[in-house]
Amino acid sequence: MLLPTRLTATALAVALAVAALPGLLTTHAQATSHRAATPSTALPHQLIVGYKPGTPQATSDQAVKNSLHAQQRATPTYTFERRLATGAVLLSLPDNSPATALTAAAKQLAANPDVAYAEPDHILQTTAEPNDPRWGEQWDLWDEYAGMNVPPAWPRATGNGVTVAVIDSGYATHSDLEANVVDGYDFLSHAPSARDGDGRDPDYHDPGNWAEAGACAPGTPARDSDWHGTHVAGTIAAQTDNAKGVASTAHDAKVQPVRVGGACGALTSDIAEAIIWAAGGTVPGVPANKTPAKVINMSIGGPAPCATITQLAINYAVSRGTTVVTSAGNANADAATNQPGNCDNVITVAASDRHRNRGSYSNYGAAVEITAPGGTFNDNPADGILSTHNTGTTTPGQETYHALVGTSMAAPHISALAALILQLRPDHTPAQVQDVITTTASPITSCGDDCGAGLADATAAVRSLT
């Protein structure tokens, strides 16, 4: 073997076959803004109550007040605000009422035989679409059925203040991402496959990871550079509402490209040290990470038990409060067979397709925590995940956008969601971040327990915190 253990990217080119080399592991990006309501500008807790025609309360404000007065001996303090144009009345609860109090109060009022309906005065947000011209193709973000329901989350969180490390193939300069990139590092120690002429160095850019036929092992096919790390990073934090290219879930977060993957995959030893460095730990010979990551995305994997060194590195990152997200793998097999998704202390992400089923390629099973859009493996780019890319087949060419399919594309959706959560709850532990994501997901009926908690819902996750 050229390399003792190799990991490779978990992306599938839309029109290419899934299988690569047996024994190969595969590899994977972010953004934010925030708005905190202050007590002085917070909207009031109100209820809208319609009374049945013919009841005194239907026409008399005093009758409403009298009936509330009678009821309030055993209930919260309602205040009569005003009668609305429809004839319904507006009631308020004290400002310090918990969010759940509104629902409970509505239910209680509705039990009054004079009441036709009672409902919370829900607070809505503008849902203006971003002006990025490729937005219409990003079903993975906006589609309410098969996507991750992202846009309504944006008024509350966009990843501001959170850094997401992308342990992957490096970064090909892209003007729709550049403003959100912070310095990473090149951890690729094996100079012959690194394509940049040397081993480890501070340049985290992706020089290309193409391979000639037979270059990695006898009989291995030739392959073009896949710009995998750039694609993953774009899904997390491509610049959004900038009238260019694509949008992303965590577009005010920062992405930190940590390069481990070259022409023939990635070494477990490099990955382990990359995890430690990304989380803010010390790696001999490597300068300290000035912007340690709160989230690590590893869209990488291969069929093997979780390596001890990888588990130790993950445990270290988690002990530092860093959430580690991994792809489940693309073998249509039990995710327990694929590392590092089978390691403990990671959020392992399966992929769903354009029709809200498990992707035909996606690994599944008890090792999976959550599912996110990864696209349909077919010849239709519209069913894939569109993100930042490059035209080069070997060395970098021009920046472009390209659809890819795989669990590699699913994982960064969850890393981006983790960034939204961490903007709102900076002290949440990785276990708490995972809990927010899984408890607000919706089941994928056709997949059941094999897809973890189901399809993640960014808006539900964020709303559960605000």
Residues classed as catalytic: 168, 228, 408
The least CB distance from residue 133 to Ca ion, in Å, is 8
Task: Work out whether 201 is an interface residue with Ca ion (CB under 5 A).
Answer: yes
- Which region among 131-139, 209-217, 228-236, 352-360 touches Ca ion (by CB under 5 A)? 131-139
The least CB distance from residue 188 to Ca ion, in Å, is 6
Is residue 431 packed enough to be buried (19+ CB in 10 Å), middle (13-18) or exposed (0-12)?
exposed
- Which region among 127-135, 219-227, 366-374, 450-458 touches Ca ion (by CB under 5 A)? 127-135
Considering only 143, 183, 196, 334, the residue that binds Ca ion (CB under 5 A) is 196
Task: Work out whether 369 is an interface residue with Ca ion (CB under 5 A).
Answer: no
The least CB distance from residue 23 to Ca ion, in Å, is 24
State the residue for tokens 């609860």. Answer: 93
Among candidates 135, 33, 152, 148, which has minimal Cα distance to 413? 148
The 10 Å Cβ neighbour count of residue 139 is 20
Task: Work out whether 176 is an interface residue with Ca ion (CB under 5 A).
Answer: yes
Q: In this complex, which beta carbon is closest to Ca ion, that of residue 140 or of residue 176? A: 176
Q: In this complex, which beta carbon is closest to Ca ion, that of residue 201 or of residue 224? A: 201
Q: In this complex, which beta carbon is closest to Ca ion, that of residue 112 or of residue 240? A: 240
The least CB distance from residue 416 to Ca ion, in Å, is 14
Count residues binding Ca ion (CB under 5 A).
Answer: 11
The least CB distance from residue 401 to Ca ion, in Å, is 9
The least CB distance from residue 244 to Ca ion, in Å, is 5
Task: Work out whether 450 is an interface residue with Ca ion (CB under 5 A).
Answer: no
Residue 176 CA, distance from chain mean position: 18
Q: In this complex, which beta carbon is closest to Ca ion, that of residue 197 or of residue 218? A: 197
Task: Work out whether 268 is an interface residue with Ca ion (CB under 5 A).
Answer: no
Task: Work out whether 138 is an interface residue with Ca ion (CB under 5 A).
Answer: no
Binding mask 235-254 for Ca ion (x = CB under 5 A): ----x--x-xx---------
Q: In this complex, which beta carbon is closest to Ca ion, that of residue 399 or of residue 450? A: 399
Beta carbons within 8 Å of 229's beta carbon, 6+ residues apart: 27, 28, 29, 166, 168, 169, 170, 171, 172, 206, 257, 259, 261
Rounded to whole angstroms, the Cα distance separating 169 from 114 reads 66
Q: In residues, how long is the chain?
A: 466
Among candidates 18, 15, 86, 21, which has minimal Cα distance to 49? 86
Task: Work out whether 234 is an interface residue with Ca ion (CB under 5 A).
Answer: no
Amino acid letter, residue 450: D
Q: In this complex, which beta carbon is closest to Ca ion, that of residue 8 or of residue 240? A: 240
Q: In this complex, which beta carbon is closest to Ca ion, that of residue 132 or of residue 140? A: 132
Using an 8 Å Cβ cutoff, are 373 and 352 in contact? yes
The least CB distance from residue 256 to Ca ion, in Å, is 17
- Which region among 40-48, 68-76, 173-181, 428-436 touches Ca ion (by CB under 5 A)? 173-181
Beta carbons within 8 Å of 421's beta carbon, 6+ residues apart: 157, 428, 433, 436, 437, 461, 462, 465
The least CB distance from residue 202 to Ca ion, in Å, is 9
Task: Work out whether 186 is an interface residue with Ca ion (CB under 5 A).
Answer: yes
Task: Work out whether 65 is an interface residue with Ca ion (CB under 5 A).
Answer: no
Amino acid letter, residue 359: G
Rounded to whole angstroms, the Cα distance separating 22 from 20 reads 7
Rounded to whole angstroms, the Cα distance separating 215 from 208 reads 15
Residues 5-24 that bind Ca ion (CB under 5 A): none
* CA atoms within 13 Å, Cβ hemisphere of 415: 41
Beta carbons within 8 Å of 337's beta carbon, 6+ residues apart: 303, 329, 331, 363
Where does 222-308 show beta strands of DSSP type E? Answer: 254-259, 295-298, 300-303
Closest residue to Ca ion, based on beta-carbon distance: 132
Q: In this complex, which beta carbon is closest to Ca ion, that of residue 128 or of residue 213? A: 128
Q: Which residues bind Ca ion (CB under 5 A)?
A: 132, 176, 186, 194, 196, 198, 201, 239, 242, 244-245
